[in-house]
Amino acid sequence: MSISVREMEVFRRVMDGGSVTAAASALRISQPAVSRILQQAEARLGFPLFVREKKRLLPTAEAHALFVESTNVFSAIEIAQRLAVELRAGHAGIITIAAIPGFANSIVPEVVHRFRAGRPDVSVVLQHLNALEVIARVAQGRANLGLAIGPVGNKGIETTTLCEAELGCVLPPGHPLTAKRELRAADFEGIPLICPSPQLPVGAAIVTAFAEANVRLRIDIEASMSTIACALVRAGAGVAILDGFGLLSAGAQDLVTRPFRPRVSSVARLLRPTLRPVSRLEQEFIAILRQVIAESGFRSPGTTRSRSKRKRPASRPAAR
């Protein structure tokens, strides 16, 4: 039969102090209590821990062997206790974020930077995935938080709307379409077009926009990662239509952006496993995420910009 943690602690104190008296003083309990707990431990183990000679306790060979292992056990307990204190203070732990490319390549790096600035002992795992994979990771509990655009449709996931991001166009400097302040579906006829896959929410929104404008959509290059789409634009392969988060990559590459008309908004959502409570670290990460999104100029759901005060949409967003 194994001994209890309390019995192990008393045993260690006796070994450290060399006597029942020293152990009782360290534990702030009576000497008879120490003796009684030692006897209980020996009864559970089935062998003596100490030999009593001339009012002294001499450890047996078994006691010396047990003491070495008990030191390892209590070191682990102390580490766990310190970790618990750090977790309570929000200074340690690990958080896993699954994000679509539009998020991962734009605002998430800034969120992670700010989050870890005050929490250097917290590890962040950033998973760069497509929308379906993000949903699967969160539903399976393999990610604490997910960041995606469009509908989710999974009962195992709780969703929160973060903001609305308008579609915009990315052009190389000097392209003829840069002369226009706004671009419409008809403007892209005869021009190589780079778009996300129609199977993704943003790609589907582009398909719908062209259909409603009665303009044939020809996707010359399908690129679902905003950084790749922008690299293709820079290389002269064509012009791209991306969501608002993807446009942030364009600003970092000194490309030209123009708003797409009529306005087409995609909804950015925060995903969480339904059955797991929100940890303190997750709450703090979400707070910083909302702050960075607000600073980036994205519109909160259900709000509209004033015509007299609004900024020109999708015009050279600041790089993050």
Q: How far is residue 202's CA from residue 224's CA, in Å, rounded to a whole number?
A: 9
| pLDDT number for residue 94 | 85
Six-digit token pair at 259? 């708003």
The reported pLDDT for the residue numbered 308 is 32
Mean pLDDT of 126-140: 88
Alpha-carbon gap, residue 34 to 235, rounded angstroms:
79
Q: What is the pLDDT of residue 5?
A: 82
* Whether the Cβ atoms of residue 152 and residue 135 lie closer than 8 Å to each other: yes
pLDDT above 90: residue 239: yes
pLDDT of residue 92: 64
Say which range, 40-44, 190-194, 301-305, has the weakest mean pLDDT.
Answer: 301-305
Specify burial of residue 181 (Cβ count, 10 A radius: 0-12, 13-18, 19+). exposed
How much is the pLDDT for 244? 82
Average pLDDT over residues 177-182: 95
User: Looking at the chain, how many residues does it have?
Assistant: 320
Q: For residue 80, give Cα distances in angstroms to 74, 85, 280.
A: 10, 9, 18
Find the mean pLDDT for residues 15-33.
89
Q: Of 61-75, 117-131, 181-195, where does mean pLDDT reach its minimum? A: 61-75
In the structure, what pLDDT confidence band is assigned to residue 36 with cuts at 50, 70 and 90?
very high
Residue 2 binned pLDDT confidence (cut-offs 50, 70, 90): confident
7 vs 22: CA distance, rounded Å: 16
pLDDT band at 301 (very low <50, low <70, confident <90, very high): low
- DSSP states of 109-122 as a string? HHHHHHHHHT-TEE
pLDDT band at 287 (very low <50, low <70, confident <90, very high): very high
Sign of the C-alpha dihedral computed for residues 211, 214, 216 and 219 taken in this order = negative
Average pLDDT, integer, range 265-274: 90
What totals of helices (H) and strands (E) does the chain contain, helices first? Answer: 11, 13
Q: Please list the residue range(s) of the chain that carry CATH number 1.10.10.10.
A: 5-89
Supply the pLDDT for residue 304.
42
pLDDT reported for residue 313: 37
- Which CATH number is associated with domain 5-89? 1.10.10.10
CB–CB of 129/274 below 8 Å?
A: no
- pLDDT attached to residue 73: 73
Q: Diameter of the chain by CA atoms? A: 103
Q: What is the mean pLDDT of residues 243-267?
A: 82
CA 113/CA 231 separation, integer angstroms? 24
- For the segment 129-143, the average pLDDT, to the nearest whole number, is 87
pLDDT value, residue 164: 86
CA distance 50 to 55: 12
Residues of the chain with CATH 3.40.190.10: 92-164+268-295, 165-266
Q: What is the pLDDT of residue 170?
A: 94
Q: What pLDDT does residue 97 have?
A: 94
Distance CA 44, CA 216 (A): 82
What pLDDT score does 91 carry? 59
- Show the tokens assigned to 232: 């293709």
Tokens read off for 200:
């993704």
- Mean pLDDT score across all residues of the chain: 84
- CATH, domain 165-266, list 1.10.10.1100, 2.60.40.1250, 3.20.20.70, 3.40.190.10: 3.40.190.10
H/E run at residue 74: helix 61-89
150 or 261: which leads in pLDDT: 261
Confidence class for position 318, pLDDT limits 50, 70, 90:
very low
pLDDT, tens digit, for every residue of 9-22? 888 888 888 888 88
Distances (CA, A) of 161 to 31, 77, 92, 158, 310: 63, 41, 28, 10, 22
Q: Is 51 helix (H, G, I), strand (E, B) or coil?
A: strand
Overall average pLDDT of the 231-254 stretch:
84
3-state secondary structure of 153: coil
% of the chain at pLDDT higher than 90: 35
**pLDDT for res 314:** 40
Flag whether pLDDT at 68 surpasses 80: no
The pLDDT of 25-42, averaged and rounded, is: 90
Instruction: Give me the architecture of the 92-164+268-295 domain, per CATH.
Output: 3-Layer(aba) Sandwich (3.40)
Strands of the sheet with 221-222, listed across from one edge: 183-184, 256-261, 168-171, 239-242, 193-195, 221-222
Whether the predicted pLDDT of 285 surpasses 50:
yes
The angle that helices 5-17 and 31-45 make with each other, rounded to 10 degrees, is 120
